[in-house]
Copies of this chain bind each other. A is one copy, B any other.
C-alpha cells in the first residue's frame, strides 16, 4: 500500500462517494476520508445508535453483535463480528462524543491486545445536504500501523461505507 490508496473514480464530475485511505508519512496514523449524500447529523447518528451501527459497520459477509454500547464521554463499547465459526471481538472507551461533529475513542482488536489505537472521527457539512467524514487511527509504531492496513481493513471499510450509503438512502 502506498501513501495514497484512493479508489478515486472521478468525484469532481459525479460526486461518487469514494473512500480515500491514506497512511501518514510522518506519524503512525491511518486517515480515511469519505463523503456521504446526507447531512452530518444523519451520519453521526449512524455512528452512535447501536441499532444502526450493526446494519453497516464492516464487510457484508460478517454479522455484527453489540455486547456493550455506551456512546458518551467516559462510556465504553464491545462488539463482535462473526463469519461462520470465526469470531472477532473489538472494544474500547469513548473519550469524547460531541453531537454531529466529533467522536474520540480507543479501539482494540482483541486478537491483538497490544495494538490499541486512538481514533478520531470528524464530520463536516458540505453544500447540497452532503457531508465529509474524516476518521484517523493513531498507533505507537509504523510496523503496527502497516500491519493493520495490510490486515485487509480496506475492504471492510469500503464495504461498510457502501452499506452506510444504502442505509442513508433507505
Interface of A with B (CB < 8 Å)? Answer: 26-29, 68, 70, 73-76, 91-96, 104, 106, 108, 113, 116-118, 120, 136, 138-142
For the complex, give the distance between the alpha carbons of A93 and B105 in Å.
9
- Is the Cβ of A93 less than 8 Å from the Cβ of B118? no
Interface-centre pick from A106, A108, A141 (highest chain B CB count, 10 A): A106
For A74, the chain B residues whose CB sits under 8 A away are: 68, 70, 75-76, 93
Q: How many subunits of this chain does the assembly comprise?
A: 2
For A29, the chain B residues whose CB sits under 8 A away are: 140
Given A136-B140, A140-B27, A140-B136: A93 and B73 within 8 A (CB)? yes
Known: A95-B116, A138-B138. 19 other contacts (CB 8 A): A27-B28, A27-B140, A27-B141, A27-B142, A29-B140, A68-B74, A73-B93, A74-B76, A75-B93, A93-B93, A93-B94, A95-B106, A96-B108, A96-B116, A116-B118, A117-B118, A118-B140, A120-B140, A138-B139
